[in-house]
Structure 1
Amino acid sequence: MNLRRTLATLAATTVVAPAVLLTATPASAAAAAAAAPAAVTAPSAADPFASCTSWTQADRVTTELLGFPTRLVAGTWSTFTFRTVNVSASPLKAVGANVDVSAWGAGVPSARLGLTVQWYDRAAKKWRPMPTRVSDFATVSGVLKPGARSDVRMRVMADRRSKAGDGFAFEFARYAGPDGVCGHAGTIHEYDFVVEPAAPKISPARGHLPAVAGGV
């Protein structure tokens, strides 16, 4: 039900709905391993996607989340990497990314848990919040040459007050071509995880220290 909600939202709020294939294991791992890394740039003042004249469903990029956690301890950050690879024969002007993460209390689907997702802007040397709607994207890479990859550090944390729960994440990406033709990554992967409550804080002992027998 939640998966259908996410995909329906994405399709309804983009110019062209991406051709979506859901898999449990990223299919782009082999190609990504051989790709060359690309520098990550800060979001530019001018939206590189504003120059898009048309949208296509051509698979010009692949995406995957590397090291996404299988368990989140409430109140503790867990880091992972958003990897985008240009698998086309032409350079891309920009890449946008988003990660949709949701979690609910164990056995209580109506009890949604609070989660925070951020991405690291290496140019500004600061963490930035991930857009909260799957139709919005953080511009995480500038020009991406054919065969090159963009690796962006990201992190996720469950609210410290969260109880035990279950969740899943999906990665989304879009690209802007210099020819004005833009599109979305055609494959979206699912990443499942569990939420564990934070360890209770131990309060220091109160009161007087016990008397020591045979004092001097």
Structure 2
Amino acid sequence: MKIRRALATAVAAAVTAPAVLLSVTPAFADTQPGAQSQTQTQNKQGKPTIKELEKAAAEAQKAYDEAVKARDEAQVTVRKALDELTKDSHPLVAAAKAAEQAAKEAAAAKTTADQAVTDAKAAIAELPETATEEQKTAAATALSEAEATAATAAATKTAADTEAAGAVKAQDDARVAAARAAGAADKALDDALAAKVAADAALAKAKKEAEEEGQDCEPELNLTADVTGLPSTLVAGTTTDFSVRVTNGSKRHMDEIIAYAGVHATDKTGLKDTGKFFRLQWSTKASPKWQNINKHNYIDAVGALKPGARADVKLRLTVDKAAPAGNGVAFIAADFYNEDGSCGGAPGLDMYEFDVKAAGSKPGKPEDAKPAETTKPSTGDTGHKPQGSTSGTPVKTGTDGSLAATGSSSATTSIALAGGAAVLLGAAAVFVVRRRKAGSDA
């Protein structure tokens, strides 16, 4: 039987992930420059390893983050540039206003000069028949001078109009250039996002193929992970230390133990996921420094366990002071891997329910969080069983893998209302264990 553990975080993400991100495939890479030659090279050299794809995905993520930063900076720059272009103190704005004023004055001068020509012509027409030659000559000279002045005014106006149009165009060009810079940053961000989606899809596909082609694992109910010290009530703005004891209650040696720990939470309505306000860290005897739980929620520093042996993992759960009141569940489990390729673990995740109170609240004297019991296949083994009492409102799974309505705590109800039923379904009813594929970690 092939075993898989559906990570709570992965299931939760699947509930809200945009369809476009879930449907993109690595085929996108064929649309990128140089993709064809790169694909041909990969075909000759074989498929890229998971490690190489993880590196590519990390680089794509980094490029996307940088593109987001560049886009944000570009938007700030554009807003500032456009704002400056509305101020009279800006050189282009001042030049445009001056040129427009000069054009206005030139137009007025031309109008005056044209009127002088009109008046000079009228004066000649009104000369009496008795006008002397001197009067006629003076009138003609006045007309000639008026026409010359009008011609100069017309040329000045044309030049001023050209200058004003150029100044206004320079001002408009500056606005267009700023908008184009913002557009280029937006386009770069779109390209980076597309590359990131393609890289993530390629990595996900490779991991799925590795799981499907990897070693089959088997159920092992006698590998247990029991929580102690996790209170049933947490207060926002506080940090809680608790522990997980991993015990090999079987009769076999386990070469490597991988512990799993994750948290899912909602507000009181159960309609809002509040997981972003929680940070989970771990520490072991072999690795005493506190470390953040990785994105897969696995802790790979437990080591080997002989039959009957046990190991403790310290956990630290920090709830941000901005976290709203609500409910939460801590998911705990353990898997094993042996050098001979055998592997396994418990079919589901143990779920420990807790309440969350707003910052500044009094926690009172809460009891330890109780595990919500899940049905697991019987092995007939009389070895070690999970310690700790179960809650009076267990969450069970039916024969078809669905959640059975045998009762629910406030935490379970809220999570279900939030669409977190998918999380519980994946945690309690789906049996999934990671498998190593030769070369995937190379």
TM-score by length of 1: 0.63
One-letter amino acid matched to 1:117: L
Q: Answer whether contact 1:91 1:178 (CA < 8 A) is retained.
A: no
Match of 1:149 in 2: 310
Q: Answer whether contact 2:274 2:323 (CA < 8 A) is retained.
A: no
Task: Give deviations 1:22-52, integer Å, cap 9, x for gaps.
Answer: xxxxxxxxxxxxxxxxxxxxxxxxxxxxxx8
48, 59, 64: which one aligns with 2:226: 64
Distance 1:129 1:62 in 2: 22
Structure number with the higher helix fraction is 2
Distance 1:56 1:139, change over 3 A: same
Q: Answer whether contact 2:246 2:310 (CA < 8 A) is retained.
A: yes
One-letter amino acid matched to 1:116: R
Distance 1:169 1:56 in 2: 24
280, 293, 301: which one aligns with 1:117: 280
Distance 1:106 1:9, change over 3 A: closer
What is the aligned residue count? Answer: 155
Instruction: Trace 1:20-99 onto structure 2 (pairs within 5 A).
Output: 53-99=215-261
SS of the residue corresponding to residue 116 of structure 1 reads strand
Q: Answer whether contact 1:62 1:186 (CA < 8 A) is retained.
A: no
Distance 2:317 2:268 in 1: 19
6, 9, 17: which one aligns with 2:8: 6
Q: Answer whether contact 1:71 1:193 (CA < 8 A) is retained.
A: yes
Task: Give deviations 1:40-72, integer Å, cap 9, x for gaps.
Answer: xxxxxxxxxxxx844222435112211222111
The Cα of 1:87 is off from its aligned counterpart by: 1.7
Match of 1:131 in 2: 294
350, 354, 359: which one aligns with 1:189: 350
One-letter amino acid matched to 1:69: P
Distance 1:128 1:8, change over 3 A: closer
247, 263, 272: which one aligns with 1:101: 263
The Cα of 1:5 is off from its aligned counterpart by: 8.4
Match of 1:173 in 2: 334
Q: Answer whether contact 2:265 2:328 (CA < 8 A) is retained.
A: yes
One-letter amino acid matched to 1:115: F
SS of the residue corresponding to residue 217 of structure 2 reads strand
The Cα of 1:124 is off from its aligned counterpart by: 3.8
Distance 1:154 1:130 in 2: 9
Calculate percent identity across the aligned residue pairs. 31
Distance 1:99 1:181 in 2: 22
SS of the residue corresponding to residue 122 of structure 1 reads coil
One-letter amino acid matched to 1:129: N
The Cα of 1:9 is off from its aligned counterpart by: 4.1
Bigger relative CO (Cα 8 Å, ≥ 6 apart): 1
RMSD over aligned Cα, in angstroms? 2.8
* Structure of larger gyration radius: 2
One-letter amino acid matched to 2:268: A
Distance 1:84 1:125 in 2: 17
Distance 2:273 2:223 in 1: 36
One-letter amino acid matched to 2:358: P
Match of 2:325 in 1: 164
The Cα of 1:92 is off from its aligned counterpart by: 0.8
The Cα of 1:192 is off from its aligned counterpart by: 1.0
The Cα of 1:140 is off from its aligned counterpart by: 2.9
Distance 1:111 1:57, change over 3 A: closer
Distance 1:154 1:121 in 2: 9
The Cα of 1:155 is off from its aligned counterpart by: 1.2
Distance 1:124 1:170, change over 3 A: closer
One-letter amino acid matched to 2:282: W
Q: Which moved more, 1:158-167 or 1:191-200?
A: 191-200
SS of the residue corresponding to residue 69 of structure 1 reads coil
Q: Answer whether contact 1:104 1:111 (CA < 8 A) is retained.
A: yes
Distance 1:141 1:95 in 2: 6
Match of 1:48 in 2: none
Task: Give deviations 1:117-157, integer Å, cap 9, x for gaps.
Answer: 11114334310111233xx5211311211001111110112
TM-score by length of 2: 0.32
Structure number with the higher strand fraction is 1
Match of 1:34 in 2: none
Distance 1:75 1:121, change over 3 A: same
